[in-house]
Amino acid sequence: MTSRRLTTVSWEELVSTALVGAHRRAVPPESLLEQAAEQVIRTRAGRRPGRGGPPAPAAAEALPLVSDAAADRLARMLAGEQSRLLTEWLETAAARRVRVPAGAIPGLLDLGARDRSIRACLGAVTGARGRWLAGLNSAWAYLLAEPTHVPHDDVWEFGTSGDRRAFLAALRRRDPAAARELLERGWSAETPEDRAVFVTILADGLGMADEPFLETVLDDRRREVRQAAADLLTRLPRSRLARRMTARARRLVTGSGAGLRAEPPAACDGAMERDGVRARPPAGMETRGWWLQQVVAHTPLSFWPEHLGMPPEEIARARIGDWEREVRMGWTRAAILQRDPAWARALFEAEPLTDLLAVLPPEEQSVRAAELVAGHPVDGQMVMMLGGVPRPWGDRLARAVLKKIVETTRTQPWNAGELIRLAGERFDPAAHEHAGEVPELAAILRFRFDMLKELA
């Protein structure tokens, strides 16, 4: 049998030949399918080995290992036991500055590739070995942008994105002006992703001294960066953006007898887009209503009582006629952006949305959530609302939820499962001693109680 050497043809050339027809191209004597098969085998075989030596060893670890009991529990959670509690385990381990065993790192990095919410914790708990592995596997490379939680003298110049964000946030807490000035000096050299995050860090200690810089950021090339700046300027009633939005809102929403009247903008011009109004609406939303909602959302809430001649409580209950939904959604977004408890309280009375609860003081969150639990059946809306109340839940809310669970398990046991699991994640874990009437809840709480004790 004679052997022949296949001519190597790129995949792009093969695709092009297949599309236009082999008879229209100078095709080598081998069949098109044979060459395509060769390319597939090459791809599956991986890259050609290089001549480089083995990678440099990982750096020395700076953090101690978790206890053997904590490591064993982590392995069980990665295998599926109480896996919903993994985030709390990682947050606690990161806060207590301990690292996981080397054998757990690949599984955690695989999870982080799918779940962005745990990545910051992984940057801390996987230690130097985790970063070493991330440099060898492109699927894990995201870890290299997360904070190491290890201080560096030159972190601002040479640190990862995560390290630099943590550094800027810490500096902002200590010295707001110094943080802003540091950011201004190198602003043009930052990546768009970093610029957007850095702007949000200025929310801590925000004041009119930040307004000139944020006003210039409205001219940034990236929409996400401009939007972040506009959201912060909305919280400054004397900012130039706030005054421009107030002028627009004054024309768009007015008093009308016993109610209110709204009229959306006729167009979204360049000045509105610069101020953070996005021209294209989400799917299913009317375009002009979308513009109206955004203008209302970026207008200082302090403007409305004087303009409409009524307090927030009455405004939240007032009938608006056409465009009512868009205006109310705008006020809701404004209350969240501006962190205004009075408006959040008034709007929550009209429509109990989870995001409004987050604006209220923690104890009030618990009280209002308890009232809703007591007066409503268990459904998806209740579970979603409770999901917005951070752990640990206060005593009043915990008692209300436990009572609702007991009632529901007696009458509709199939409807209590998600509420039980959520309660298990949010109750004070020491409550496991008092939850014996609901064995599944008691088991979750005992698991958390032991978990946190092992990480202490």
CB atoms within 10 A of CB 46: 7
The answer to whether residue 327 sits within a structural domain is: yes
Band of residue 169 on the pLDDT scale cut at 50, 70, 90:
very high
> Which residue range is the domain that position 211 belongs to?
155-234
Q: Which residue has the higher pLDDT, 152 or 156?
A: 156
- The whole-number pLDDT of residue 149 equals 59
The answer to whether residue 26 sits within a structural domain is: no
Do 304 and 383 lie in one domain? The reply is: no
Q: What's the rounded Cα separation, in Å, for the pair 326 and 328? A: 6
The answer to whether residue 222 sits within a structural domain is: yes
Band of residue 120 on the pLDDT scale cut at 50, 70, 90:
confident
Tokens of 263: 């009229």
- Residue 22 reports pLDDT greater than 60: no
- The whole-number pLDDT of residue 26 equals 57
CB atoms within 10 A of CB 227: 17
- The whole-number pLDDT of residue 352 equals 83
The residue behind tokens 């860090």 is 201
* Mean predicted lDDT score pLDDT of the chain: 88
Q: What's the rounded Cα separation, in Å, for the pair 373 and 394? A: 13
Do 309 and 366 lie in one domain? The reply is: no
The answer to whether residue 194 sits within a structural domain is: yes
- Residue 2 reports pLDDT greater than 50: no
CA atoms within a 13 Å half-sphere pointing along the CA-CB vector of 319: 5
Q: Which of 431, 408, 428 is nearest to 418 (CA)?
A: 408
pLDDT digits (tens, 9 = 90+) for 195-216: 999 999 999 999 999 999 999 9
Do 97 and 172 lie in one domain? The reply is: no
Tokens of 175: 């010295």
pLDDT digits (tens, 9 = 90+) for 343-402: 999 999 888 888 898 899 888 888 889 998 988 888 888 888 888 888 889 889 999 999
- Taking each helix axis from N to C end, the angle separating 223-234 and 192-201, rounded to the nearest 10 degrees, works out to 10
Query: What pTM was computed for the model?
Result: 0.75
- Residue 5 reports pLDDT greater than 50: no
Question: Which of 201, 234, 267 represents a domain boundary (last residue)?
Answer: 234
The answer to whether residue 31 sits within a structural domain is: no
The answer to whether residue 280 sits within a structural domain is: yes
Which residues, at least 6 apart from 39, have a Cβ–Cβ distance to it below 8 Å? 9, 11, 14
DSSP state of 414: G
The answer to whether residue 95 sits within a structural domain is: yes
Do 252 and 333 lie in one domain? The reply is: yes
- The whole-number pLDDT of residue 38 equals 72
Tokens of 126: 């996987």
Average pLDDT over residues 72-82: 96
Do 135 and 164 lie in one domain? The reply is: no
Q: How many domains does the structure of the chain reveal?
A: 4
- The whole-number pLDDT of residue 56 equals 86
CB atoms within 10 A of CB 18: 13
pLDDT digits (tens, 9 = 90+) for 221-230: 999 999 999 9
Band of residue 14 on the pLDDT scale cut at 50, 70, 90:
low
Q: How far apart are the first and last CA of the chain?
A: 72
Do 394 and 303 lie in one domain? The reply is: no
